[in-house]
Amino acid sequence: MFSPEISNLITQRKDQYLQQLFTLLRQKSISAQNIGVRECSSLLKNMMEDIGINTRLIETDGHPVVYGEVIKDPEAFTLLIYGHYDVQPPDPLDEWLSPPFEPTIRDGKIFCRGAGDNKGQLMAQILAIKTYLDTYGELPINVKMVFEGEEESASANLSSFVEKNKDLLNADLVYTSDGPMHDSGAPFVLLGVRGMLYVELTAKGAKWENHSGNKGNIVPNPAWKLIDLLRTMRDENGRVLIEGFYDNIREPTENEKEIIKGLPFDREQVAEKIGYEQLNMNTEEYYHNLTMEPTFNIAGFTSGYGGEGSKTIIPAQATLKMDMRLVVDQDPDDIYKKFCDHVQKYAPDIEVNHLGDMQPSRTPADQEIVNVVTKAVGESFNQNPVLQPSLGGSLPDYVWTKILGLPSVIVPYANFDEGNHSPNENIGVDNFFDGIRCTCQVIHRLGEYSKQR
Amino acid sequence: MFSPEISNLITQRKDQYLQQLFTLLRQKSISAQNIGVRECSSLLKNMMEDIGINTRLIETDGHPVVYGEVIKDPEAFTLLIYGHYDVQPPDPLDEWLSPPFEPTIRDGKIFCRGAGDNKGQLMAQILAIKTYLDTYGELPINVKMVFEGEEESASANLSSFVEKNKDLLNADLVYTSDGPMHDSGAPFVLLGVRGMLYVELTAKGAKWENHSGNKGNIVPNPAWKLIDLLRTMRDENGRVLIEGFYDNIREPTENEKEIIKGLPFDREQVAEKIGYEQLNMNTEEYYHNLTMEPTFNIAGFTSGYGGEGSKTIIPAQATLKMDMRLVVDQDPDDIYKKFCDHVQKYAPDIEVNHLGDMQPSRTPADQEIVNVVTKAVGESFNQNPVLQPSLGGSLPDYVWTKILGLPSVIVPYANFDEGNHSPNENIGVDNFFDGIRCTCQVIHRLGEYSKQR
């Protein structure tokens, strides 16, 4: 099934490919702290050009996008590959077993900040193109690449970049390798993400803390203000009471429902992994809750005294952090407006702050292109992938599905324990080479598919 | 009105009396840290004996009680004076302008840990007896004194001490000088306190924090568990819904209602002092809420992320600290049982911890003895005192009213800005001498009253 020439070349070049990854890993590119990001964009551009990818830096209001393309024929099928070359800060430094920017192999894994998220996966894509070109002299399809430098800073300029470059980015399919493979170790094909709205609510009482005895029943308590507001927002069964919150939710298709029923789910294994033994859901409930339902989560509630023992005070302030995961076609702007209207109606003196948002995305599972990719991934890993209609979490996938109107698939290459954002982040050596092979096979099958179109 | 001999003697002895107070202040007596407490009890005993007070240390399961008496005639009227010789820890040390255990006079105030709370007020009582004895050779009534060493540690052994020594402590009236005078600067006569029940609630979700995207709608959120419980405990108007919470509240008497209506209340001044400009209460509402109504206060709510910006987590735990101020005849044990029963019924997996309690107390305002004390206080300060049926806060006053069944009055001598429990605690020099004079006058008027009985 899988091309022996490709496999052989990858095996021959193991050391060379690892060294190329290590070169990229050693170059810091911490977007949040603006450390090394521009240097990394230049390094990446040079590496891509060396491979034969026509590459340039495209400036944004933040860090530049590294844009590359290998165009066979402007009319041919075009795959757009997305990834990011920026990384998280390495803190806490003292928890790293080897230096965070010196790639180190231990137990079959490459440890380095960015190894899994996302440089290892990004390099797998580039080196797949190199491998393909060096094996066959050309690609069977057009490939475009967008590697952004701000994914770890909420992709602040990605949507405007995409808006401005619609023609340049014109394609038939978007392909992203980011995040970990399925918990079970199986390959993973994701057809969307949940969106997000993150808000902070601040309630105030008196200007300062007062004594709960001498001022009890005199000064208003901001923690009660928040709780009184929250009880108008959500009933005791967890249903959100904000008017119109559920209005735009797209019903799962029959196909999606079928897919969900067939997904792998080991209740005990999941329960152990999340640290919640009482987990009591079947496969359908689990995946429906995780991918088809919005959340209304309290990420933080802070008011008054939280230390040991007792302190008799009326807090001066109460702060609530909430994140809502949204499902298609909930729009974070619309939900934010409805949220603010609700606060305005029930507790106008409570302050709302918008801390971030992201649109949800979903690519319909019944497109033939989804089958082509899923089949190619399965062939390359020699194992059927888990096809999931949506990730529980959020990624800026909507820029492809919503702004460009393209189908988009997410095929993670990192091991499930990659420890992204944590000390000792890593990618399995095998995962890196499996990733190279997988992109080659996807390109190969898309080439066949485009001929039949 | 006020005895010129007494006044003159106090004036003559100003330096001597200040030095005696300074000696007591220099001796540390931090009950919570067990620093110097026993040494202080011995020092105080010696000082009292030098004055001619028959004094002994009575051991408890904690720090000793310094018990003193001047008995004229076992059948005569007996005044029991209560105070405490222990102090709060001096932290934070770097905020003190002069060393915390070196009494220093600045701007007419004595700065030292314990100056206001309670050594300055306790010494005023003792030196009043010295002044009275040195002026007239004897007291017109019996005086007993209980100075405990654990008031800053929740008076852990006071109630059992009183239970065990009912005969010894037999008296006609209990007199306490602790806390600050009325905000307005007027003298203050308090006829009781609110009680207290302090509980901590802990709700748990999964064993550890989970990602709010990848686990949202899968792992239960402990902050929501607490909020769902709280909405069953209190309605949106602040009314407590725990069954039987209001059962044993004693209706204010007509006399108490009248007193409350006549209390001084400057809305703007109070609003400024508590930092809540929107305060919108009249005199009656203010004092009724503060002294006749229980509270249901959130002193702390802590769950998840409380730092800057956003963090996308489902907290593993949520902790709530609540203090309820109770009014006569609510019993903290009974309320605690009702509270636990409620939790057991609505959220049995939420853990309740009992962090402290105190019984409320109230001495009826219509007793003649109350008039006698109020009149004497007014004479000595040359200003009518504010007579308040209850303090908003809590003191262990119930040991006198409930265990001994005695009337009890609280007449604070410290300035309203004494800064008790804070750095730069102080007592006004004038407050100290006014206190000596006031106790003398109270003893004098009680002597006259007891002759008429």
Sort out which chain A residues have CB atoms less than 8 A from B316's CB and list them.
Answer: 275
Six-digit token string for A143: 């490939």
Least CB-CB distance to A218: which of B206, B218, B289?
B289
Q: What residues in A contact B231, CB-CB < 8 Å? A: 227, 231, 236
B263 to chain A, minimum CA–CA distance in Å? 16
Q: Could you give the percent of chain B with pLDDT greater than 70? A: 100
How close does chain A come to B429, measured CA to CA in Å?
25
Pairing of strands A188-190, A386-388: parallel
Q: Which residue of B has its CA nearest to A223?
A: B298
Question: What average pLDDT is seen over chain B?
Answer: 96
Residue B56, beta-bridge partner list: B67
Number of A–B residue contacts, CB under 8 Å:
222
Quick one: pLDDT at residue B420? 87
Residue B333, SS3 per DSSP:
helix
In the numeric block, which tokens belong to residue B39?
Answer: 């040494």
The answer to whether B60 touches B157, Cβ cutoff 8 Å, is yes
C-beta atoms of B300 and A311 within 8 A = yes
Question: CB–CB of B356 and A295 under 8 A?
Answer: no
Residue A220: CB partners within 8 Å, gap ≥ 6? A205, A206, B276
Structural domain span for residue B142: 4-193+360-452
Closest Cβ opposite residue A392 in set B194, B216, B394: B216
Q: Which residues pair with B320 in a beta bridge?
A: B201, B301
Angstroms from A135 CA to nearest CA on chain B:
39
Q: Six-digit token pair at A21?
A: 């990854």
- Measure the CA–CA gap between B231 and B241, rounded to whole angstroms: 9
Q: In terms of DSSP H, where are the helices of B114-266? A: 120-136, 158-164, 222-233, 254-261
Q: Which residue of B has its CA nearest to A281?
A: B218
B278 found inside a domain: no
pLDDT value, residue B2: 72
Among A279, A304, A319, the residue with its CB nearest the CB of B298 is A304
Q: Are residues B206 and B329 in the same domain?
A: yes
Q: Are residues A39 and A59 in the same domain?
A: yes
Host H or E run for residue A393: none
Distance from CA of B249 to the nearest CA of A (A): 16
- DSSP state for residue B324 in the 8-state scheme: E
Helical axes B120-136 vs B429-452, angle rounded to 10°: 50
Nearest to B295 among A205, A212, A301 (CB): A212
Residue of B215, B237, B263, B391 for testing the chain A interface, max A β-carbons within 10 Å: B215
**Residues B67-80 pLDDT 10s:** 999 998 999 999 99
Mean pLDDT over B264-275 rounds to: 93
CB–CB of A224 and B238 under 8 A?
yes
Q: Which of A225, A397, A209 is nearest to A312 (CA)?
A: A209
Q: Directed axis angle between helix B4-12 and helix B14-26, to 10°?
A: 60
> How far apart are the CA of B205 and the nearest CA of chain A, in angstroms?
7
Q: What is the pLDDT of residue B338?
A: 98
Residue B70, in any domain of the structure:
yes
Q: Are residues B58 and B182 in the same domain?
A: yes
| CA angle B242–B248–B250, rounded 5-degree value | 130
Q: Is the peptide bond before A118 cis (omega within 30 degrees of 0)?
A: yes
Mark whether A29 and A167 lie in a shared domain.
yes
Tell me the C-alpha distance between A47 and A441, whole Å.
22
Q: Which residue of A has its CA nearest to B239?
A: A217
Q: Cβ separation of A301 and B301 shorter than 8 Å?
A: yes
Residues above pLDDT 90, as percent of chain B: 92
> Are A238 and A331 part of one and the same domain?
yes
A433 in the same domain as A351:
no
Tokens found for residue A191: 């057809």
DSSP B116: I
Residue B219's CATH number: 3.30.70.360
In a 13 Å sphere around the CA of A248, the CA atoms on its Cβ side amount to 13
- Give the pLDDT of residue A1: 56
Nearest-CB residue to B295 (from A217, A286, A356) = A217
Spatial CB neighbours of B436, under 8 Å, sequence gap ≥ 6: B10, B17, B124, B127, B128, B131
CA nearest to A371, candidates A445, A287, A437 = A445
pLDDT, one tens digit per residue, over B189-239 is 999 999 999 999 999 999 999 989 889 999 999 999 999 999 999 998 999
Which is higher by pLDDT, A154 or B250? Answer: B250
In angstroms, the CA B234 to CA B320 distance is: 15
Residues 6+ apart with CB under 8 A from B239: none
* Closest residue to B300, CB basis, from A297, A304, A391: A304
Q: Which chain B residues contact residue A212 at CB under 8 A?
A: 295, 297, 299, 323, 325
CATH code, B151: 3.40.630.10
Q: Give the Cβ contact number of residue B353 at 10 Å.
A: 12
Tokens 């998220």 belong to which residue?
A117
Tokens of residue A193, six digits: 């993400």
Q: How close B192 gets to chain A, by Cα (Å)?
A: 13
Number of residues that this document lists for chain B:
453
Residue where a domain stops, chosen among A311, A334, A358: A358
Local confidence pLDDT in tens for the 453 residues of chain A: 578 999 999 999 999 999 999 999 999 999 999 999 999 999 999 999 999 999 999 999 999 999 999 998 999 999 999 999 999 999 889 999 999 999 999 999 999 999 999 999 999 999 999 999 999 999 999 999 999 999 998 899 999 999 999 999 999 999 999 999 998 889 999 999 999 999 999 999 999 999 898 899 999 999 999 999 999 999 999 999 999 999 999 999 999 999 999 999 999 999 998 999 999 999 999 999 999 999 999 999 999 999 998 888 999 999 999 999 999 999 999 999 999 999 999 999 999 999 999 999 999 999 999 999 999 999 999 999 999 999 999 999 999 999 999 999 999 999 989 988 889 999 999 999 999 999 999 999 999 999 987
**Closest residue on chain A to B301 (Cα):** A303
**Closest alpha carbon to A291 in B214, B271, B325:** B214
Q: Where are the alpha helices (DSSP H) in A263-314?
A: 267-274, 283-291
Assign 3-state DSSP to chain B and report helix, strand, coil percentages, each to 5.
40, 20, 40
Beta bridge partners of A202: A319, A351
For residue B260, tell me if it sits in a domain.
no
| Chain B residues within 8 A of A391 when measuring between CB atoms | 213-214
* Whole-Å CA distances, A307 to A266, A311, A341, B308, B354: 39, 9, 35, 19, 15
The type of residue at B376 is A
Instruction: Give the ipTM of the model, two decimals please.
Output: 0.90
A153 in Cβ contact with A32 (< 8 Å): yes
Chain B residues closer than 8 Å to A305 by CB: 299-300, 321
Across the interface, whether the CB atoms of B274 and A219 are under 8 A apart is answered: yes
Containing A5, the helix (H) or strand (E) segment is helix A4-12
Report whether pLDDT(B1) > 60.
no
What is the residue whose two structure tokens read 């359908």?
Answer: A284
Residues B144 and B230 in one domain: no
Q: Is there a contact between B132 and B124 (Cβ–Cβ < 8 Å)?
A: no
With contact defined as beta carbons under 8 Å apart, do A236 and B228 qualify?
yes
B296/B415 same-domain check: no
User: Other C-beta atoms within 10 Å of B12: how many?
Assistant: 10
A321 contacts in chain B (CB < 8 Å): 304-306, 310-311
The alpha carbon of residue B94 is apart from the nearest alpha carbon of chain A, in Å, by 21
Whether B71 and B131 share a structural domain: yes
What are B321's two structure tokens? 């600290």
Q: For residue range A277-319, what is the model confidence (pLDDT) as tens digits?
A: 999 999 999 999 999 999 999 999 999 999 998 888 999 999 9
Same domain, B350 and B433: no
Q: Report which of A50, A144, A46 is spatially closest to residue A38, judged by C-alpha positions.
A: A46
Does the residue B282 lie in any domain? no
The residue among B358, B377, B410 that closes a domain is B358
Q: Which residue of A has its CA nearest to B353?
A: A309
Q: Which of A275, A289, A301 sits opposite B303 (nearest CB)?
A: A301
pLDDT at B453: 75
Q: Identify the pLDDT of residue B154.
A: 85
Phi/psi zone of residue B424: left (φ > 0), alpha (ψ -120 to 50 degrees), beta? left
Phi, psi of A67 (to 5 degrees): -110, 130
Number of domains in chain B: 2
Of B79-83, B309-313, B328-332, the least confident: B309-313
pLDDT (mean) for B369-384 = 97
Nearest chain A residue to B211, by CA: A393
Last residue of a domain, one of A321, A336, A358: A358
Same domain, B419 and B322: no
Residues B184, B234 within the same domain = no
